[in-house]
Amino acid sequence: MSEISVTERLRLKKNADRRLKAGHLWLYSNEIDTQATPLKTFEPGAQAVIEAANGKAMAVAYVNPHSLICARVVSRDPNVRLDRSLLVHRLKQALGLRERLFTKPFYRLIHGEGDLLPGLIVDRFDDVLVVQLNTLGMERLGEEVVAALDKVLSPRAIVFKNDSSGRRQEQLERQVSLVKGELPEQVLLEENGVRFAVPVLEGQKTGWFYDHRANRAWLNGLVAGKRVLDVFSYIGGWGVQAAAHGASEVLCIDASGEALERVAENAALNGLTEQVAIGEGDAFEVLAALKADNEQFDVVILDPPAFIKKRKDIPNGERAYSRLNREAMRLLGRDGLLVSASCSMHLAPERLMECIRGAVRHQDRHGQVIYQGHQGPDHPVHPAIPETAYLKALGVRVFRD
C-alpha cells in the first residue's frame, strides 16, 4: 500500500465552491484565493486538501499550477488520498459496472471523470490493457496505476499510450511504451459479433473507439443488401461491421493508408474481403470525386475526428460539419440513410441537428431524424460535468418527394 501524505491546502475564493458543491471535479486557476494559497508554491502533480473560503475542508485534489484546470478532485473525503488503495477500489467499482453491461471483456474500463479517476483512461482488450495518463497528477501515479491494474485483473500486457494532445496542455511529453508483459501477435476484440485486430501501439487513441458500439449496432440492423460508404473509416469499425451484417458492398475511405491496410485485414479476418473496398484520400476531395463519377450509395457514414478542439474553433468547425454533411447527402439515392457523428465536446447536439437541417435544405430534400445516439455506457457521463458527454450520432433518412 502506498502512502501519500497531504499537508498542502488550496483555498477557494468566496463563492467559488458552488460548482464543487454541485458535484463538479474541476477547479480553475481563477477560482483560487492566491493570496492565501499561491498556486506557484505547489509542486506540479502534488495532492492538496481543497478548502472553502472559510477554511472548511471540502475535498482532496491533485494540482497542476501551470494548467487552466489547476486542480482535479479525487475524493470528497478530505482524509482520503489518491493512492494504490483508492485506485484498486475505483477499478473494482468500474469493473463491476462493465461486467453487468457486457458478457465479453472488450470495453472501456476507466473513463476518466466518469469513473471518478480524472486524467485516467483504460481500454480493455481481454487480457491486454491500454492506458492513457492524460494529466500530470495521474502521470505521477503511473507505477501505482500498473500495480492496481495488476491486482484487479492480472493482465497479460499493459500499454501506456501517452500520446494524447491533452498531455501538451499539462506540459507532459508524448510517449508510447509497453510497461508490463508481452503483446500477442495480434490484439483482438469482438464488437457486435464482429472481430477486429487493433493496432494498440501505433493506432489512434487506444487503438479502438468503443464509444460508438451501440450506434453501430443500431446501423447494423439496417444495412442488409445496401451499398454503404464509410467516410473517416479508420480501421473499419463501421464499415466492416456493416459488411458482416449483410451490406452488399462497402467502400471505406480514410486519409491514412496504414489505417486502410487494417480495414483490409479486418475484412479478411471476418471473411468479408469481397464485400469491402478501400479508398485513400482527403474526405472532402473523395466525396467530390465520387459525385463527379455519379456514384450513389444507400447509406453514408460520417464519423470524423473532432473539428472543434477548443471554443475558438466553433465557427470554423460548424462550417466544416455543415459542408461535410452537404457533400455526403449528394451521394445518397432518392431514399437514403445518413449517419452523422461528432466527437467534438464543444459542438452542442442542437448545432449538429442544425448542420443536418441546413444540409437537407441545401439539397432540396426532406430529412427525418430516426435515431439519436451518444456514447456507450462504458463511457459514463458525470452528471455534474457536461464535458463528459461528448459524442453525438444522428441517423437521418434523406429522401425526395
Active site residues: 343
Distance (Å, rounded) from C-alpha 186 to C-alpha 196? Answer: 9
Quick one: cell of 293? Answer: 463519377
> DSSP string spanning 56-106?
-EEEEEEE-TTSSEEEEEEESSTT---SHHHHHHHHHHHHHHHHHH-SSSE
| DSSP bridge pairs for 116 | none
Integer distance in angstroms from the first to the last C-alpha of the chain?
68
User: In this structure, how many other beta carbons lie within 10 angstroms of the beta carbon of residue 362?
Assistant: 14
In which residue are the cell numbers 464509410 written? 230
Quick one: cell of 29? Answer: 486557476
In which residue are the cell numbers 460508404 written? 229
In which residue are the cell numbers 473560503 written? 53
- The residues, any chain, with a CB within 8 Å of residue 176's CB and separated by 6 or more, are 159, 160, 161, 162, 163, 201, 202
> DSSP string spanning 342-356?
E--TTS-HHHHHHHH
Radius of gyration of the chain (CA): 23
- CA-based diameter of the chain, in Å? 70
Distances (CA, A) of 113 to 14, 74, 120, 374, 381: 25, 9, 8, 17, 8
Helices and strands per DSSP (H, E), number in the chain: 11, 19
